[in-house]
Structure 1
Amino acid sequence: MTAIAARLTRPGFAAGGALALLFVVSLVVGVGDVSLSRLTHDPEAWRLVFASRLPRTLAAVLAGAGLAVAGLVMQALARNRFVEPTTAGTDQSAAAGVLLMTLLWPSSSLPVKTAGAAAAALAGTSVFLAVAHRLPPNQPFLVPLFGLIYGAVLGSAAMFVAWQADLIQFFEIWTRGEFSGVLRGRYELLWLSAAMVALAWWAADRLTILSLGRDVSIGLGLDYQAMMRLGLVIVSVVSALTVVVVGMIPFVGLVAPNLVTRALGDDLRRAAPWTAFVGAALTLGCDILGRIVRYPYEIPVGTILGAVGAALFLWLLFGRRA
């Protein structure tokens, strides 16, 4: 037992230390100077940290952890390692939901728009899973291929509606993930993503059984439909929160779960905390990279993750296991 605890503790300290280092770097990297020497004597530096840098860093951590765990749950629901909210029409449905709320109730508050986005994401993801479960199980690539086409159709339809309503600029904000506009008072809804991560960890054992399939799950005494609904709620709420607050962020829900399950296996209770760590570190690291590459200008984190995530996913597909 001591040896097992030591093997688990060493990676835990390493992951926690890496995330803590990225957290500190994120607080000091940017156009405004908040170096340690300035923090010792300038109150303005502290105001900048609490108004902008700290909310931005927390938003990246919360969004990354939530999307990573949502991807892990999504893969269990679909029984396919090549899906995530971005490639299953969930994010596109959430963006369409925000657009619909903006058209029908333009003066509604951000929580109300988030609720509408979550409802739309729930409906869109339900349709995807209903079709995905009918596809041949011996052709795993058909599921992500259908998801890409399905998401593109939903996104194109929403873009057409936005064009007709002269809301293209607003729609692009929801479909392009970036943290540059995150300030104190504009990110707090993302704490609900942490609650969804905790809910996924609480139901991890049942979600692991769910990933074995309908017949096996029912045979083991699991309420299959109830767990499907719970998984859909987790994925939909996290996706809606992320789209409303910071926009679509690709590849986190695809790469982070695959990196973790490749090393630890398919037990969601064991994999969920590590997946949240990897997703948070990946998102925060790419956000820092986006601030550095074209300093003093920024590249949206969605663009950086599109390149980094694609490279990691190709490595997962073609790289050899140790």
Structure 2
Amino acid sequence: MNDIQRPLVRPRRLRTSAAMRDLVAGSALRPAQLVLPAFVREGASEPTPISSMPGVVQHTRDSLRKAAVEAAEAGLRGIMLFGVPEAKDAIGSGATDPDGILNVAISDVVSEVGDALIVMGDLCLDEFTDHGHCGVLDDAGRVDNDATLERYADMAVVQARAGAGLVGPSGMMDGQVAVIRDALDGAGLTDTGILAYSAKYASAFFGPFREAVDSSLEGDRRTYQQDGRRDGREGVREALLDIEQGADMVMVKPALAYLDVLRQVADAASAIGVPTAAYNISGEYAMLEAAAAHGWIDREAAILETLTSISRAGADVILTYWATEAAGLLR
């Protein structure tokens, strides 16, 4: 034993106790950085379970109010709302109807929780169109970028007037942030911020979300959402373009399959003082829940490990269906 070369540097010293580990935990997750995505269904009399997302429901207006209060009391600071309308059409008329489900839900939650939560509206047409795409279609059945921008501008103003503190353009149309910012400012809504879905990929992990919003999608979204084979430089470029156009915050979606992109976008955005968000999406949620249901993993530990990995990769804000539960676990 006397001949053994004893290590001069012992990293394990910083792991010797729970207090020591807490002291040096640089990527500590906080409830205040978590945002709860929530679905609200028009005409619903009771919450409707989403089979592919155990524990997640399509809310009624009343149950959404309750969920928002619970989120605020848990220490969350944001909720992102998605509407599920009774009727759809080619241009997504319900998205710009002040009495449409998403816009009345925004007003409901704002009146219920006040400034305790930042109420965010998903600014996209896919839930409201009968073809399920994120924009209006041209005569050839392709998404018309510039015609869609006109719809987004109107949608932003309606959401802001309903009380949204942040609007979240998620359609990946070129120039969407500039048009939305101009529309908001032109309507005197200069305090309404923009959370830009800057690097959003055509992902296989969106499947359960399609059930959650009763999607009518025909085909796919590969002509406007990003190709996952591209490296992170394209995501950084999209984020910087959005920032130049007036985005107050940028986002990477999905989170787990794109942690490398998240790191690059976060580095670029933080260098100029802009926060970065990441969306821990439906398929990522369903995957973990399924494994836990089979007893293959420790569910609560896996939730916190997953969310911590997203924070460690650079996310200042994390949208996750576990937000309220995770906040309780952190406490």
Does the pair score TM above 0.5?
A: no
More helix per residue? 1
Rg comparison, structure with higher value:
2
Greater RCO (Cα-Cα under 8 Å, separation 6 or more): 1
Task: Name the TM-score, length of structure 2 as normaliser.
Answer: 0.29
